[in-house]
Structure 1
Amino acid sequence: MTQLADAILTPGRDGAYDAVMKWALIMALITIGAVVSYDYGLLTYLFSADRSRITILIAVLYVGFSAHCLWILTELSREYRRAMIWKARLATSSTIPDVPVGGGLIDSYVADVMRSRENPSDAEGSAHMLMMSLGASLRRRTKVGTYGADLLYKLGMLGTMVGFVMMLNSMGDMANFDVATLREALQDMIAGMAVSLLTTIAGLIGGILLRLEYNVADALVTDISQTAVSFTEVSLLPNLARAERNV
């Protein structure tokens, strides 16, 4: 966390970690909304009225996926910084760069492009394939967000079905039509309807908010891919081709 704070707050920063700041802003707004909802008793009612406890599961999963989103945003921001460093380095130099030794995706990509020039017969095609591979590797990290949002939606639908089952079960328990039995059946029906509606609302809200967070990561993946394509086509491949002609 200290390194992350230093990267964000360093004077003259390059904006690589702006996506993390956007995530923090979104979470701050969500937290404010949660506090206001708790103050008005909405959250308390949401969790207490749901007998199935599916809303608690949805809340726990949402927090877990949000933490994962922060982790991949930090990793992707580090890759974005490496991409911008390579772009600046290649733009100011016409010589062959040193083979990168870093363990990140961008460094591995640049190293693969440089090694692909050893077979100049299909160097351009190899570079394009490596660009596509880099984009796929980056997007694979954000696929969890699609799964997470879909999971929250499905849990909300599951709660809807559970609520309907509880309502139908309360109607089947009415052996006679005295006042006490009707009162108990109505209470069970209302409880089942509450489960149905509250879990649906929790699943929809959780899925929408989680999708919003991962959209920030998707946008960052696009920025990294565009930067990689830019320095590859404009600087890296021409520099390598020029060096091969001078050999």
Structure 2
Amino acid sequence: MSSTAHHRMLGAAVVHRLPGLRRSPFALERAENGLFLLWLAYMGLLLLASYLLWRAGAWHRLVAADPTFLTVAITLLFFGCSIWAGRRAWVLGQQRQQLDVWIAQGAPSGAGPDWAEEYRHGCSAPGADRGTWMQVLGERAHGPHEMAWWLNGIQLKLGLLGKVIGFSILALQLGDMQSFDASQSSQLLKSLTGGLGIALLTTVTGLTGNILLGLQLMRLDRFADALVADTLASAELHPSSTDTGASHGHRPPGA
């Protein structure tokens, strides 16, 4: 159910074509809190890589080489969105567990807000419009992801902004040159590479964050897709106990 606009973003376009990522949830994701545990493992790898980069001094050099601090902003945005993705993975996992309880027992678990039960109860009401409740279910499962995808695109745009700023600095430095003295070539090259470094570092950081966050959001979307599909299928096989025969917006006889 991901919108076409999602796949126009670089992160979504890349992870959408990686092997296995278009599949429905893996067996590990279908286990209890499996999606959240998979996110924890993914973040553990990223934190390990971040620690190794810190030990190598890469973070210090990255900050020192970027006076615009756009790389810092992109990094903070990435980790903030990743924390949100972990929280979202937990919520979707809880909804998956409640749906599995309904499929197995034919009754809601009562453990908390249940999107599947809300859909079944809404569709069973007299005069209910099933299409409207399908939209509500889709909004529950996918609505919060829209902002996350937008922020994922912002990472890429911040990287491109840094690229423009870096080349602008480079152009200004070239414009200020009055003459070229071979004895000052080292100092000249040092000043010129400052703008080029800003352009390259911000672009690489934006692209990396866009791809890594897009990977998380793509799995959330696929998990939500499967959750909605299974909810619709379970509603057909196991209608709500309050079902009075309403379907597709028509009132039952005598209502």
What TM-score comes out, normalization by structure 1 length?
0.77
Q: Which sections of structure 2, spanning at least 5 residues, go unmatched?
A: 1-29, 246-251
Residue 101 to residue 64, structure 1, CA distance change in 2 (3 Å): closer
Q: Which has the higher contact order (CA 8 A, sep 6+)?
A: 2
User: Residue 51 of structure 1 corresponds to which residue in structure 2?
Assistant: 67
Post-superposition offset of 1:42: 2.4
Say if 1:22 and 1:216, in contact at 8 Å, map to a contact too.
no
1:112 alignment partner AA: G
Q: 2:233 aligns with which of 230, 233, 241?
A: 230
**Which has the higher mean CA deviation after the structures are superposed, 167-176 or 26-35?**
167-176
Post-superposition offset of 1:214: 1.2
1:160 alignment partner AA: K
Say if 1:156 and 1:200, in contact at 8 Å, map to a contact too.
yes
Q: 1:151 aligns with which of 150, 154, 160?
A: 154
User: Residue 82 of structure 1 corresponds to which residue in structure 2?
Assistant: 98
Task: Give me the whole-angstrom Cα distance separating, in 2, the residues matched to 1:71 and 1:102.
Answer: 16
Deviation track 1:119-172 (CA, whole Å, cap 9, x = no partner) reads 3xxx6xx33442243123311121123112111011110111011011111112
Task: Give me the whole-angstrom Cα distance separating, in 2, the residues matched to 1:18 and 1:203.
Answer: 29
User: Residue 81 of structure 2 corresponds to which residue in structure 1?
Assistant: 65
User: In the alignment, does 2:31 pair up with 1:15?
Assistant: yes
Q: 1:34 aligns with which of 50, 54, 57?
A: 50
2:138 alignment partner AA: G
2:147 alignment partner AA: V
Task: Give me the whole-angstrom Cα distance separating, in 1, the residues matched to 2:52 and 2:85.
Answer: 24
Task: Give me the whole-angstrom Cα distance separating, in 2, the residues matched to 1:231 and 1:192.
Answer: 58
Task: Give me the whole-angstrom Cα distance separating, in 1, the residues matched to 2:94 and 2:160.
Answer: 38
Task: Give me the whole-angstrom Cα distance separating, in 1, the residues matched to 2:67 and 2:187.
Answer: 16
Post-superposition offset of 1:191: 0.7
**Pairwise mapping of residues 64-143 of structure 1 onto structure 2 (< 5 A)?**
64-90=80-106, 103-115=113-125, 118-119=126-127, 126-143=129-146
More helix per residue: 1 or 2?
Answer: 1
Say if 1:84 and 1:227, in contact at 8 Å, map to a contact too.
no
SS at match of 2:66: coil
Q: 1:161 aligns with which of 159, 164, 167?
A: 164
1:106 alignment partner AA: A
Residue 70 to residue 172, structure 1, CA distance change in 2 (3 Å): same
Post-superposition offset of 1:64: 0.9
Say if 2:156 and 2:207, in contact at 8 Å, map to a contact too.
yes
Say if 2:92 and 2:224, in contact at 8 Å, map to a contact too.
yes
**Which has the higher mean CA deviation after the structures are superposed, 67-76 or 150-159?**
67-76
Task: Give me the whole-angstrom Cα distance separating, in 2, the residues matched to 1:127 and 1:16.
Answer: 30
User: In the alignment, does 2:222 pair up with 1:219?
Assistant: yes
Residue 238 to residue 78, structure 1, CA distance change in 2 (3 Å): closer
Task: Give me the whole-angstrom Cα distance separating, in 1, the residues matched to 2:147 and 2:33.
Answer: 21
Residue 174 to residue 182, structure 1, CA distance change in 2 (3 Å): farther
Equivalent residue pairs, number: 218
Percent identical across equivalent pairs?
A: 22
User: Residue 93 of structure 1 corresponds to which residue in structure 2?
Assistant: none
Post-superposition offset of 1:175: 3.1
